Structure 1
Amino acid sequence: MYDPKPFGLNELREMFLSFFETKGHLRLPSFSLIPQNDASLLLINSGMAPMKPFFTGEQEPPRHRVTTCQKCIRTGDIENIGKTARHGTYFEMLGNFSFGDYFKKEAIHWAWEFLTSKEWVGLDPERLYPSVFAGNETTPADDEAFRIWNEEIGIPAERIFKFGKEDNFWEHGSGPCGPCSEIYYDRGEQWGCGKPGCTVGCDCDRYIEVWNVVFSQFDNDGENHYTELKQKNIDTGMGLERLACVCQGVPSLFDVDTVMNITRKVTEITGASYGQSHATDVSLRVITDHIRSATFMICDGVLPSNEGRGYVLRRLLRRAARHGKLLGVNDPFLYTVCDTVIHENEGHYPELRERQDYITKVIRVEEENFAKTIDSGLKIFGDMLAEHKAKGETTFSGADAFKLYDTYGFPIDLTLEMVEEQGMKLDEAEFHKQMDEQRQRARKAREALGDLGWAGVEFGKDVPETEFVGYENTAIDDAKVVALVVENEQAEEIMPGVEAIVVLDKTPFYAEMGGQVADHGTISADGVTFQVTDVQKNKGGKYMHTGKLTQGVLKVGDTVSASIDVKRRKAVMRAHSATHLLDKALRTVLGDHVHQAGSLVEEDRLRFDFTHFSALTAEELAKVSAMVNEAVLEGYDIHTDVLPIEEAKKKGAIALFGEKYGDTVRVVDMGSGYSVEFCGGTHLDNTAKVGVFHISSEFSVASGVRRIEATTGKASLDVMNRNQEMLFQAAAALKAKPGELREKAEQTMLEVKALHQMVEKFKAKESAGEADRFLFGARQVGELKVLTATIPEADANKLRQMGDMLRDKAPNVVAVLATVNGEKITFLAVCGKEAVAKGIKAGEIIKNVTAICGGKGGGKPDSAMGGGTNVLKLDDALASIDDFVAGKLN
């Protein structure tokens, strides 16, 4: 008797990998979710995706038989996640692969053995149904696979299903492709649709595909012409969660043991119960699925951002956070679920536990940031929605959606989802139209700025590209003037006192690019001096030396000397070489997720932008600074080479993400591998020449992007001297020696704190006395004490403090306090326990009084606040309280 064995998901994963190890396969760890050297994918979405080079023959595999369990993310139908039990973003794909080794016979036999053998999964063979490719006019039927299933495995012909290209042929445009054979498991009639003829291939949940092996045997030329491949491959894919569903006899991936344990943690936090209602189940499934995905993505180095895979992560976290709000959780909570996700998966993915603090911190920061956006956005969305419904409209305005996005930062995908939940449609065409118009406005604004006044100059073919010789030379004496530009027009000569642009056939001047500022210096000849104050490189490769002719006449065709300001160049190089050391230190201290996001290198000053999710702690900054200065003290030699790009990558050179590089690149190597980066800038020959490296500030410049500003060389010495001077001045002010300054400052702060506490105690006593006076003058309305008062020069905190005292002193009190600041009124209403018990609610009182004064507000039954703008109506508002209370008490 065969029955599905209730194997746990983690147990099934290990069984599969162990089984194929017995068949001579090399077990490889899961590849990162971030594709390597594959621009066609945003995230790894299948087991074979990371191994494309092995299939195509571009790269030699570590072994010709490989088995993996690959982490995968698919977000093509993210809007359906949670709404159905089938859809999920994160899943694991079990696979066995052959690169020119075994083929159909072994692949089919091993699949059958693993699924049916009682030593392994032990599924009932009578419940398993294979399918094969039926063939079509361009590609023959897979008779070989049919024969193996029928004659060798012993499956009756009527139980082998033949399907067309859509189901049983794998291809993706041109390139390797082939038929596939799937294995379906019959879960029983209770899972079926009940329709006559329900069988394998039906869309219901009865027959579930558990195995799919692709026989990569053809090459498609892109025009449906198929030729046999010399190297035939096997690519097997089996969803781990899907196999677990079968073995555990559960309805969906959300009911599998490891996934359900995460859901249980979410229900514990939210108080919601799975199965309580469809809406609740949707929210629980969304949160469970998305936190699994986010945990693995962050572990692999993805950070929330507004583009690419970072936006996928941000969208998942925001969607999960909003569904938390739908379940009544308003505070950040997703980060607390991480431990459960990690606990369920750390056996196979130990890196999750190793990076737990980092993962948790990223999620918490993103949750907190989003909370600020969503709170204001939800209110504005609600107002817009109410207006549409009041007009009887069923389409939510694209202009409103754009305003939510552009003005309030509210994500369009959340707007779309919330609109659909209200049974409405979003005018997406209008939204995208306004987005395009905004981009065009931005483009025109950039064009209006021009390009330093000379980008519009068109040079003829007789003006060659400028040869840059500044890596080896700081001065040359045989440069030729090939063009002159005055007021955006080409000229043949320039006179003294004229500001102009000089183009040379070769130059030692570094043009501003890659974050490094341009060289300054002089272009000269007999009796001629041109002071260079900026250098830019145009799209045609011409170096545009901007400056002023101070003496003589300069003509096109003149031979000149070109000499840079060496002292300035050295100061710039100190800062530039320091940015490479800083990049290395940040990656070491914070993690490999750090990527350069921009830089500015000036004379002994640098600005370095990098991807990171939160502010650096004092300890982290100290470690970064210390590591850079240690590299300076080590005195690493700095070498530069021009290498083929593939050789540079093999050497470990780091490239700027998103940058385009040619076939050859310039590589800067510090310390023979300590820091290796692609870079076209100028550098020192030894790190010791950086001098003192000093971080002056660290702050945020965009979501997920931080900035460090620092100094090197003489600028750092100036900072140290100023700091020392301030230290002596502070010590003198506190009448202490510099070495005693910290203790003296701490002592002074304690004294200030004690004085502050004394002042607060006096204020509290004053407020208590004032509260007693208010209560003494309260009016009796029924069994309640009603009082109103205007408190001059008070802020919201003082009103709350006074209100709390009144409520605590008199359970039967109803009090409304107000303060006026300019033309703005702030109200506070409090109701004691007895007043609330009699149906008097502070929130209702506030709504009434603020409406009289042209404002609004609200709150809880025992305490509420609001505002108003019509000061002349303040007395009327306060006078209405007695009647309001009396009316409530009948």
Structure 2
Amino acid sequence: MKWMGLNEIREKYLSFFESKGHTRLPSFPLIPIDDNSLLLINSGMAPMKKFFLGQAVPPNKRVTTCQKCIRTPDIENVGKTARHGTFFEMLGNFSFGDYFKVEATAWAWEFLTKVMEMPEDRLWVTIYEDDDEAFEIWTKKVGISAEKIVRMGKEDNFWEIGSGPCGPCSEIHWDRGPEFGCGKPGCALGCDCDRYMEVWNLVFSQFDGDGKGNYERLEHPNIDTGMGLERLACVMQGVNNLFEVDTVQNIMQHIRKIAGVEYGKEYKTDVSLRVITDHIRSTVFMIGDGVIPSNEGRGYVLRRLLRRAARHGRLLNINEPFLYKVCETVIKENETAYPELIEKKDYIQKVIKVEEDRFAKTIDMGMEMLNNLMDKLSADSINGKLLSGEEAFKLYDTFGFPIDLTKEIIAERGIEVDEDEFKRLMNDQRDRARTARLSGNVISWADDIFADLKEEHVNFTGYAKLADEGSIIAMVKDGEMADSMHAGDKGTIILDQTPFYAESGGQIGDTGVLKLGDNLFHVYETKKTATGLFLHNGEMASGMLTMGNKVTAIIDDERRRAIMRNHTAAHLLQKALIDVLGNHVQQAGQLVDEGRVRFDFTHFSAMTPDEIKRVEDIVNGLIMHAYDVCIKEMPIKEAKEMGATALFGEKYGDVVRVVNVSNESIELCGGTHVSNTSKIGLFKIISESSVAAGVRRIEAATGLNVLELFNENQDMMLKTAENLKASNPHELVAKSAQVMAELKDKIREIEEINVKIAEAKSNELFAQAKEVCGVKYICASFTGTKPEAIRAMCDKIKAEAPNMVGVISTVTDGKASIFASCGKNTIEKGMHAGKLIKAICEFVGGKGGGRPDSAQGGATELFKIDEAFAQVPSLIEEMVGKK
């Protein structure tokens, strides 16, 4: 058995199964396509679920893949051991009703023993305890000794998740040798020690289970196998864990070089190196597939990984952003199998750098706060083991510490967090139910009301027609299949042929009517199932429709034309953004309806007015050139060669639809478009804003909507001119400048009056001063007086009365402000305005502080202000006495 690199192993596996008639598919994106049951792809078969369920037709009944996967349930253990990781690649070969156990076992054995040249005497096999068929195949057809086969129970060797396809499995294990065993006399396959390592799992999906222990034999059983690429590399390279595999070790070497540390000498250093190595692999691939850091869903998983890695960088004394540098090595080690990482390298680095910078701004303050909290808890013999949910939430909300990071840090001091209170605060303030989703790493075989229609094919004619005929093949009313629909009924109608575009690709679905004589069904929205059924959702307006009726489907053509204008404009907008901002711009989301273009894109700062104008000018220039919009279907290879832009993270088939605007904008798109850019009319950007870290959003209008926008602006200008007493809108600039100048003069006059009032009131207060410990003081409360006037009064006290302390409050609009000032001589005696204000504000439910000579704060319990002011003499006495 010779040493073999991870990239070589991957290629040998895929090539081997290609030689067995399998179609090699590229890895599916980590973001699941048309599957809401998963947050991220976590196994090789997860993207294949639609093929196993018959919801889609595979390109071949035999498929092989190397699938990138993310699993995060054990994230807290990543780094602590060399076994755990969040990113891995899963090798798999699949049969969709084609070959079964004989071929799956024979090919697995052939690959391991002939291609990988692994010694047969070190390979062991487990089978399900009742699977005599597998035992016969392994012993009589593959030729393995019966002594090398171990029968195991349902928990170990039966693959089943809820209801749906399931069956027994057979696992192939590698004997690492007695030196890795526990040394016990009974040590054998199945022992908890490290001697026997599972390498390959062959799942024989031969049953349809109902989830209650009842199984029916499938007419066409399937094969689903999975073998961890890194695990196989461990065997072939003779190393103990994934962090010692060549490609992964090279990433760690880069981190070690930056940190100036060694691996294998000190446990804590090793933990940090493993955490960073694993997490940077995950984050590079996640960002490459379109995940953006955020505070929920898969974006939260990404942020959590990045910030955990950044924190461990600090533990290695790396006090500046560095992860974005390490991603260069991650890409280099994986570019052969995943060339798209090279294309997106600049973008991936930028996202990581921005997130590192954001976290760096707050991590030191957050750690200082957390360390203080831990010190206090450690000194508290009664409550010293529990951090409040309120404090944990503050760390999350103010300093960006994911709750998992806080838990990990405090666990090092034996402290836990009140997670129930934390979750309650999260729900109260942000109404997020994220925690449940993060644990959603289970593949569900969901029942579908349309399951019986999975073989039906719907012919979409909406690219060429705005009205067409189609027969009703299904109706749904009150959540159940129905045979008819009467006036007033709400539900769904499915046709065998329809011109209605179903919502997808960021384009909203069509509306309109289904008509048969006087029988009328209003379509309020059009959706599409994963199997390609078009759902016309709406209400029966008059008459009755029944199964089999042939109806005329009529789209609201004015609405559709407006949508088409907006969709084509969105393509031109992306081209313009790239021209103005750079090649890092990628589409991150889109919604085009009849009213607006909403386009999300990757960019890391707000656009300037000049950039916005340049983008508008480019789009309107393309419109005015009246370019034809050419739409063709072609092989995806040909489309890429001509420079077609694909949607970030989207999965495409072998044949794609290309929308080409005179080679200025070439995109893969299944939406509807105008035939010539001149039909867009005009393009106007309404707003540009931030929607997430590194993601901006533009909202724009086209065609008649631009005219409507102009009319609204004209009305607004006329009304503004009327309010400012301008004779026409052309005078608005001069008139508004005049009004602002007059307003500034009035504000200055008011400020001068306030100063005079403050001086007068200060003189009155001086006469009412009292004394304690040789320090004169005044306390006063006002209602309705502006805080600026109170501040001026305190400044006068400080400047003109060196032996006096002043404490003055004001209540305006239900809010209380409290100010304090200390004269020069009182400070020498021990007075401190900041400490005085802090003590007073704590008494009235507020916060405050400041310098020795001047301070301010606020209050929430206004009724306690007089009571607080009564404490001022004792506070002065305490400060002066301490001096």
TM-score category (smaller protein)? 0.5 to 0.7
- Distance, in Å, in 1 between the alignment partners of 2:74 and 2:697 is 36
Distance 1:221 1:575, change over 3 A: closer
Letter of the 1:173 counterpart: G
- Residue 434 (str. 1) matches residue 429 (str. 2): no
- The count of corresponding residues between Structure 1 and Structure 2 is 587
- Residue 143 (str. 1) matches residue 136 (str. 2): no
What's the % identity of the aligned pairs? Answer: 57
Shift, 1:71, TM fit: 0.9
* Among candidates 279, 301, 315, match of residue 290 of structure 1: 279
Matches within 5 A, 1:771-790: none
Superposition RMSD in Å: 4.6
- Distance, in Å, in 1 between the alignment partners of 2:332 and 2:707 is 50
Query: Is the 8 Å Cα contact of residues 114 and 121 (structure 1) preserved in structure 2?
Result: yes
Query: Is the 8 Å Cα contact of residues 85 and 254 (structure 1) preserved in structure 2?
Result: yes
Which residue of the partner structure matches residue 384 of structure 1?
373
Distance 1:574 1:192, change over 3 A: closer
- Residue 45 (str. 1) matches residue 42 (str. 2): yes
Query: Is the 8 Å Cα contact of residues 581 and 675 (structure 1) preserved in structure 2?
Result: no
Which residue of the partner structure matches residue 127 of structure 1?
122
Which residue of the partner structure matches residue 81 of structure 1?
78
* Among candidates 192, 198, 203, match of residue 187 of structure 2: 198
- Distance, in Å, in 2 between the alignment partners of 1:266 and 1:409 is 24
Matches within 5 A, 1:443-842: 578=569, 581-582=572-573, 594-596=587-589, 608=598, 610-615=600-605, 624-625=615-616, 628-635=619-626, 687-688=677-678, 690-691=680-681, 693=683, 698-708=688-698
Shift, 1:628, TM fit: 2.5
Shift, 1:193, TM fit: 2.2
Distance 1:440 1:685, change over 3 A: same
Distance 1:289 1:613, change over 3 A: farther
Query: Is the 8 Å Cα contact of residues 390 and 425 (structure 2) preserved in structure 1?
Result: yes
Query: Is the 8 Å Cα contact of residues 104 and 202 (structure 2) preserved in structure 1?
Result: yes
Query: Is the 8 Å Cα contact of residues 73 and 90 (structure 1) preserved in structure 2?
Result: yes
Larger RCO (alpha carbons 8 Å, 6+ apart): 2
* Among candidates 281, 306, 322, match of residue 270 of structure 2: 281
Distance 1:196 1:653, change over 3 A: same
Matches within 5 A, 1:141-180: 141-180=130-169
- Distance, in Å, in 2 between the alignment partners of 1:31 and 1:6 is 29
Query: Is the 8 Å Cα contact of residues 606 and 690 (structure 2) preserved in structure 1?
Result: no
Shift, 1:184, TM fit: 0.7
Distance 1:676 1:106, change over 3 A: closer
Residue aligned with 1:433, SS: helix
Distance 1:361 1:153, change over 3 A: same
Distance 1:204 1:621, change over 3 A: farther
* Among candidates 192, 201, 212, match of residue 201 of structure 2: 212
Distance 1:396 1:654, change over 3 A: same
Which residue of the partner structure matches residue 111 of structure 1?
108
Shift, 1:365, TM fit: 1.1
Query: Is the 8 Å Cα contact of residues 823 and 870 (structure 1) preserved in structure 2?
Result: no
Which residue of the partner structure matches residue 555 of structure 1?
none
Distance 1:675 1:207, change over 3 A: closer
Letter of the 1:869 counterpart: R
Shift, 1:225, TM fit: 1.3
Distance 1:351 1:596, change over 3 A: closer
Which residue of the partner structure matches residue 385 of structure 2?
394
Letter of the 1:122 counterpart: E
Shift, 1:712, TM fit: 6.5
Query: Is the 8 Å Cα contact of residues 93 and 226 (structure 2) preserved in structure 1?
Result: yes
Matches within 5 A, 1:397-412: 397-412=388-403
After TM superposition, the structure 1 stretch with the greater mean CA deviation from structure 2, 216-225 or 236-245, is 216-225
- Residue 188 (str. 1) matches residue 177 (str. 2): yes
- Distance, in Å, in 2 between the alignment partners of 1:46 and 1:515 is 31
- Distance, in Å, in 2 between the alignment partners of 1:596 and 1:273 is 43
- Distance, in Å, in 2 between the alignment partners of 1:631 and 1:227 is 61
- Distance, in Å, in 2 between the alignment partners of 1:622 and 1:281 is 52
Shift, 1:705, TM fit: 3.5
Q: Deviations over 1:351-410 (max 9, x none)?
A: 111211111111111111122232322222222222222323011111211222234443
Residue aligned with 1:330, SS: coil
Which residue of the partner structure matches residue 33 of structure 1?
30
Distance 1:164 1:852, change over 3 A: farther
Shift, 1:344, TM fit: 0.9
- Residue 323 (str. 1) matches residue 317 (str. 2): no
Residue aligned with 1:132, SS: strand
Residue aligned with 2:223, SS: strand
Query: Is the 8 Å Cα contact of residues 299 and 359 (structure 1) preserved in structure 2?
Result: yes
Query: Is the 8 Å Cα contact of residues 693 and 710 (structure 1) preserved in structure 2?
Result: yes
After TM superposition, the structure 1 stretch with the greater mean CA deviation from structure 2, 194-203 or 688-697, is 688-697
Distance 1:163 1:697, change over 3 A: same
- Distance, in Å, in 2 between the alignment partners of 1:39 and 1:189 is 45
Query: Is the 8 Å Cα contact of residues 305 and 703 (structure 1) preserved in structure 2?
Result: yes
- Distance, in Å, in 1 between the alignment partners of 2:102 and 2:667 is 50
Distance 1:710 1:64, change over 3 A: closer
Matches within 5 A, 1:223-234: 223-234=212-223
Distance 1:127 1:303, change over 3 A: same
Distance 1:13 1:678, change over 3 A: closer
* Among candidates 228, 245, 251, match of residue 239 of structure 1: 228
Distance 1:274 1:653, change over 3 A: closer
Matches within 5 A, 1:305-344: 305-344=294-333
- Residue 870 (str. 1) matches residue 852 (str. 2): yes
Query: Is the 8 Å Cα contact of residues 287 and 324 (structure 1) preserved in structure 2?
Result: yes
Which residue of the partner structure matches residue 721 of structure 2?
none
Shift, 1:328, TM fit: 0.9
Letter of the 1:382 counterpart: N
Query: Is the 8 Å Cα contact of residues 604 and 693 (structure 2) preserved in structure 1?
Result: no
Residue aligned with 2:84, SS: coil
Structure 2 residues without counterparts, runs of 5 or longer = 434-465, 467-505, 509-536, 541-557, 631-643, 650-658, 715-794, 800-827, 836-848, 856-883
Shift, 1:47, TM fit: 1.1
Letter of the 1:361 counterpart: K
Which residue of the partner structure matches residue 261 of structure 1?
250
Shift, 1:707, TM fit: 3.1
* Among candidates 10, 18, 22, match of residue 19 of structure 2: 22
- Distance, in Å, in 1 between the alignment partners of 2:854 and 2:572 is 65
Query: Is the 8 Å Cα contact of residues 347 and 584 (structure 2) preserved in structure 1?
Result: no
Residue aligned with 1:44, SS: coil
Which residue of the partner structure matches residue 831 of structure 1?
none
- Distance, in Å, in 2 between the alignment partners of 1:573 and 1:336 is 43
* Among candidates 82, 90, 93, match of residue 93 of structure 1: 90
Distance 1:282 1:232, change over 3 A: same
- Distance, in Å, in 1 between the alignment partners of 2:246 and 2:45 is 26
Distance 1:440 1:124, change over 3 A: closer
Structure 1 residues without counterparts, runs of 5 or longer = 135-140, 443-471, 473-513, 517-538, 543-565, 640-651, 658-668, 723-819, 825-848, 857-866, 874-890
- Distance, in Å, in 2 between the alignment partners of 1:611 and 1:109 is 49
Distance 1:711 1:252, change over 3 A: same
Which residue of the partner structure matches residue 250 of structure 1?
239
Shift, 1:85, TM fit: 0.8
- Distance, in Å, in 2 between the alignment partners of 1:143 and 1:571 is 64
* Among candidates 7, 13, 22, match of residue 10 of structure 1: 7
Residue aligned with 1:91, SS: strand
Matches within 5 A, 1:408-427: 408-427=399-418
Shift, 1:431, TM fit: 1.4
